């Protein structure tokens, strides 16, 4: 572990000035109301991006996403957020392209981490990226009609552009959406559908460029043996893919030659629905991103919207007690998530279910607290813009209402104190004792799935994956939010970058979280009775125009919400763009690299060590 200083805000205006000096005719400042950063001439994007990375030092591309300004301007826009791994705020740069023939040069050679994000932009927005090595659909299947995130693309059950829908009140005669659609199945076909040419091209497209049918010896110039490459398809139904993830693995014998992740099996259109929702509607939807750590997702989204609200005149920041409770919840969530991650990593290593059962049993104790405070075990929906839903209750009390109900009743502060001071440290130690020195765990994980630090940065890896490679980057310190600056904790860093270190770093992080929680407890006592909400609760707040990128250090890595508020001069009630920078999704970019050269049995372990959740990967 390293001692890591809190970085002061680095000078973004200076960077912008330098950019403007070097490229006076290709860079101009973004002057739209509430926007920041620069707009770059798309023809010189690659060149400028290289300058941003090498000369200005913004070496970490956090997020690359598209926005469709249909109806406002006849343009689409790629928005890039680049950071310095030393810390500090983002340099935001954008490239614009006309809607009818959208094309923006690919940045994959500058930042390989842009790979999946550009594929997503192609899939959902239809922006082409010349120079991209593998520009295929990523979330939907090859052959899908249209690019659904475009504002003028409507799905089968489309009702209205924005919620709330007029059909719900005051004349809300209940009707299932199926009944409005001829097929009843949430589908709509292009009017010129040709049934005779109908075929499923989705699988074909996946296997087309794997070089099948070419024998290995032919490639290596030795024709004495005729062996072929073997393609193994893992998933989407596979016990070790943590959901519905799929990998197409090309093998030479048992050694992996290439691995291509295939996702989208849980693509449930989070962002499209998010743009139809009001700002508040999105909060419970964020629960379902990374459904193991819903509290953290809530916080990330709340921070992003609060950034926008802060541009308004009557904004009041969250109260101190609200911030204390937020950090309490988020750190407990981190522990929950790491219990789960370690338990199931061991499952993938072959220790079938015993470590996972121990981890789940401990997790239940924290979920009991979440259930008593937020009302649900998993889908907490707890944060609000300007505070939290409700103060933590005096007592964790269950109430009998059905037959045979067994009631529990604990004092919340006592419960929390015992949980944080005794129960969790004890169970972390137990997991440590149980697993860390086990020779089987070591032989399966040491040296497997190595990711060097420079590659981790280039691939935009985040969270434990990045820090296990020796990069001490943690959003809580790099760009502090909430009350983290006043808390004393270290960033856990390990240097070997293999599965074992990723396991160890999760144990370290749990211990650091306990350290934070121990500092939170007295603050909770001290602020008892103080308000948990600033201002008045609004159900449809109007949000000032502009853009915001709120990011938090989720248990799985950096979770970012890019939100654009546009389209209504009075301040819209619905986000124009709602993008989720999902750590699970972007961490997977490096999966193929990490697996090459290892045996096929190591794939599940490497995947387990990244710790993905499909709700977030596919959104």
Residues 124-143 that bind other proteins (CB under 8 A): 139-141, 143
Would you count residue 279 as binding other proteins (CB under 8 A)? Answer: no
Strand partners of residue 66? 78
Would you count residue 267 as binding other proteins (CB under 8 A)? Answer: yes
User: Residues 531 to 590: which contact other proteins by CB under 8 A?
Assistant: 537, 539-540
Q: What are the CA-CA distances from residue 118 to residues 97, 102, 147, 576 (Å)?
A: 14, 13, 14, 20
Q: What backbone torsions phi and psi does residue 124 show, to the nearest 5 degrees? A: -95, -25
Site string for other proteins, 406-425 (x = CB under 8 A): xxxxx----x--xx--xx--
Tell the smallest beta-carbon distance from residue 250 to other proteins (Å): 21
Note whether 281 and 539 are within 8 A (CB): no
The binder of other proteins chosen from 96, 217, 269, 519 (CB under 8 A): 269
Would you count residue 528 as binding other proteins (CB under 8 A)? Answer: no
The binder of other proteins chosen from 148, 300, 449, 464 (CB under 8 A): 148
Specify the 3-state DSSP secondary structure of 53. Answer: helix
Rg (CA), the chain: 25
Choose between 388 and 448: whose C-beta lies nearer to other proteins: 388
The binder of other proteins chosen from 12, 156, 230, 248 (CB under 8 A): 156
User: Residues 328 to 367: which contact other proteins by CB under 8 A?
Assistant: 354, 356-358, 360-361, 364-365
Please calculate the CA angle 616-111-298 and round it to the nearest 5 degrees. Answer: 25
Choose between 419 and 505: whose C-beta lies nearer to other proteins: 419
The binder of other proteins chosen from 43, 72, 74, 158 (CB under 8 A): 158
Tell the smallest beta-carbon distance from residue 510 to other proteins (Å): 17
Tell the smallest beta-carbon distance from residue 484 to other proteins (Å): 27
Tell the smallest beta-carbon distance from residue 405 to other proteins (Å): 4
Would you count residue 202 as binding other proteins (CB under 8 A)? Answer: yes
Measured between alpha carbons, how far is 10 from 90 in angstroms, rounded to an integer?
9
The binder of other proteins chosen from 87, 243, 300, 544 (CB under 8 A): 243
Would you count residue 157 as binding other proteins (CB under 8 A)? Answer: yes
Tokens representing 318 are 């969250």
Site string for other proteins, 168-187 (x = CB under 8 A): xxxxxxxxxxxxxxxxxxxx
Would you count residue 486 as binding other proteins (CB under 8 A)? Answer: no
Residue 169 buriedness (CB in 10 A; 0-12 / 13-18 / 19+): exposed
Choose between 232 and 378: whose C-beta lies nearer to other proteins: 378
What per-residue string of b and e applies to 468-500 under the rule 16 or more CB within 10 Å gives b?
A: bbbbbbbbbbbbbbbbbeebebbbbbbebbbbb
Would you count residue 145 as binding other proteins (CB under 8 A)? Answer: yes
What per-residue string of b and e applies to 223-262 under the rule 16 or more CB within 10 Å gives b?
A: eeeeeebebeebbbeeebbbbbbbbbbbbeeeebbbbbbb
Would you count residue 404 as binding other proteins (CB under 8 A)? Answer: yes
Distance from the first to the final alpha carbon of the chain: 34
The binder of other proteins chosen from 256, 428, 435, 580 (CB under 8 A): 435
Specify the 3-state DSSP secondary structure of 220. Answer: helix
Tell the smallest beta-carbon distance from residue 266 to other proteins (Å): 6
Site string for other proteins, 363-392 (x = CB under 8 A): -xx-----xxxxxxxxx-x-------xx--
Choose between 9 and 174: whose C-beta lies nearer to other proteins: 174
Note whether 543 and 308 are within 8 A (CB): yes
Would you count residue 285 as binding other proteins (CB under 8 A)? Answer: yes
What DSSP character marks residue 436?
A: I
The binder of other proteins chosen from 152, 437, 488, 569 (CB under 8 A): 437
Note whether 530 and 320 are within 8 A (CB): yes
Note whether 127 and 103 are within 8 A (CB): yes
Give the other-Cβ count within 10 Å of 353's Cβ. 12
SS (H, E, C) 484-513: HHHCCCCECCCCCCCHHHHHHHHHHHHHHH
Tokens representing 38 are 């620069």
User: Under rule CB under 8 A, how many of the chain's residues touch other proteins?
Assistant: 135
Q: What are the CA-CA distances from residue 380 to residues 141, 280, 285, 527, 568 (Å)?
A: 32, 14, 10, 23, 31
Tell the smallest beta-carbon distance from residue 494 to other proteins (Å): 19
Tell the smallest beta-carbon distance from residue 228 to other proteins (Å): 26
The binder of other proteins chosen from 84, 94, 272, 494 (CB under 8 A): 272
User: Residues 488 to 507: which contact other proteins by CB under 8 A?
Assistant: none
User: Residues 291 to 310: which contact other proteins by CB under 8 A?
Assistant: 291-292
Strand partners of residue 417? none
Choose between 178 and 454: whose C-beta lies nearer to other proteins: 178
Tell the smallest beta-carbon distance from residue 513 to other proteins (Å): 17
Is the bond preceding residue 164 a cis peptide, omega within 30 degrees? yes
Tell the smallest beta-carbon distance from residue 243 to other proteins (Å): 6
Tell the smallest beta-carbon distance from residue 535 to other proteins (Å): 15
Note whether 558 and 290 are within 8 A (CB): no
Measured between alpha carbons, how far is 527 from 524 in angstroms, rounded to an integer?
5
Q: Which stretch binds other proteins (CB under 8 A): 66-74, 153-161, 506-514, 585-593?
A: 153-161
């Amino acid at each position: 572990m390293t001692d890591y200083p809190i970085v002061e805000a680095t000078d973004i205006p200076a960077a912008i000035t330098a950019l403007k000096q070097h490229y006076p005719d290709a860079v101009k400042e973004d002057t739209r109301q509430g926007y920041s950063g620069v707009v770059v001439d798309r023809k010189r994007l690659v060149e400028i991006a290289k300058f941003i990375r090498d000369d200005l030092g913004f070496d970490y591309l956090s997020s690359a996403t598209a926005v469709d300004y249909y109806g406002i301007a006849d343009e689409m826009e790629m928005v890039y957020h680049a950071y310095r791994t030393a810390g500090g705020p983002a340099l935001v740069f954008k490239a614009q392209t006309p809607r009818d023939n959208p094309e923006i040069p690919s940045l994959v050679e500058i930042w390989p981490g842009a790979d999946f994000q550009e594929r997503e932009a192609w899939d959902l927005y239809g922006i082409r990226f010349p120079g991209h090595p593998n520009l295929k659909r990523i979330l939907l299947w090859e052959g899908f009609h249209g690019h659904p995130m475009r504002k003028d693309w409507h799905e089968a059950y489309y009702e209205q552009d924005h919620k709330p829908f007029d059909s719900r009140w005051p004349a809300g005669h209940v009707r299932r959406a199926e009944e409005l659609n001829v097929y009843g199945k949430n589908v709509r076909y292009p009017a010129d559908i040709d049934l005779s040419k109908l075929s499923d091209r989705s699988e074909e497209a996946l296997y087309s460029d794997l070089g099948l049918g070419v024998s290995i010896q032919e490639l290596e110039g030795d024709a004495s043996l005729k062996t072929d490459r073997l393609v193994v398809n893992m998933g989407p139904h596979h016990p070790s893919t943590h959901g519905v993830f799929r990998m197409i693995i090309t093998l030479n014998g048992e050694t992996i030659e290439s691995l291509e992740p295939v996702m989208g099996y849980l693509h449930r259109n989070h962002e499209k629905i998010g743009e139809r929702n009001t700002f508040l509607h999105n909060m419970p939807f964020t629960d379902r991103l990374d459904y193991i750590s819903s509290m953290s997702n809530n916080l990330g989204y709340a921070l992003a919207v609060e950034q926008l609200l802060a541009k308004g005149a009557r904004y009041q920041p969250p109260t101190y007690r609200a911030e204390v409770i937020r950090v309490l919840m988020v750190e407990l969530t981190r522990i929950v998530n790491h219990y789960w991650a370690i338990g199931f990593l061991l499952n993938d290593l072959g220790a079938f279910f015993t470590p996972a059962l121990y981890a789940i049993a401990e997790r239940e104790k924290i979920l009991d607290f979440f259930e008593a405070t937020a009302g649900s075990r998993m889908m907490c929906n707890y944060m609000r813009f300007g505070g939290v839903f409700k103060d933590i209750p005096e007592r964790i009390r269950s109430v009998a209402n059905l037959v045979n109900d067994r009631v529990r009743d604990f004092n919340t502060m006592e419960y929390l104190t015992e949980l944080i001071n005794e129960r969790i440290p004890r169970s972390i130690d137990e997991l440590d004792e149980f697993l860390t020195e086990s020779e089987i765990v070591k032989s399966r994980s040491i040296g497997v799935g190595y990711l060097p630090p420079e590659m981790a940065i280039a691939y935009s890896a985040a969270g434990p994956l990045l820090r296990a490679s020796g990069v001490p980057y943690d959003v809580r310190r790099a760009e502090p939010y909430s009350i983290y600056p006043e808390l004393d904790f270290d960033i856990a860093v390990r240097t070997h970058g293999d599965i074992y270190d990723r396991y160890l770093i999760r144990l370290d992080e749990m211990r650091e979280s306990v350290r934070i929680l121990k500092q939170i407890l007295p603050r909770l006592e001290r602020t008892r009775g103080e308000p948990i909400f600033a201002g008045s609760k609004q159900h449809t707040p109007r949000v000032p125009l502009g853009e915001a990128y709120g990011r938090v250090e989720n248990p799985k890595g950096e979770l970012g919400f890019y939100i654009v508020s546009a389209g209504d001069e009075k301040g819209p009630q619905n986000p124009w763009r709602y993008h989720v920078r999902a750590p699970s999704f972007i961490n997977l970019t490096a999966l193929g690299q990490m697996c090459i050269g290892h045996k096929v049995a190591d794939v599940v372990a490497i995947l387990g060590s990244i710790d993905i959740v499909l709700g977030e990967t596919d959104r």
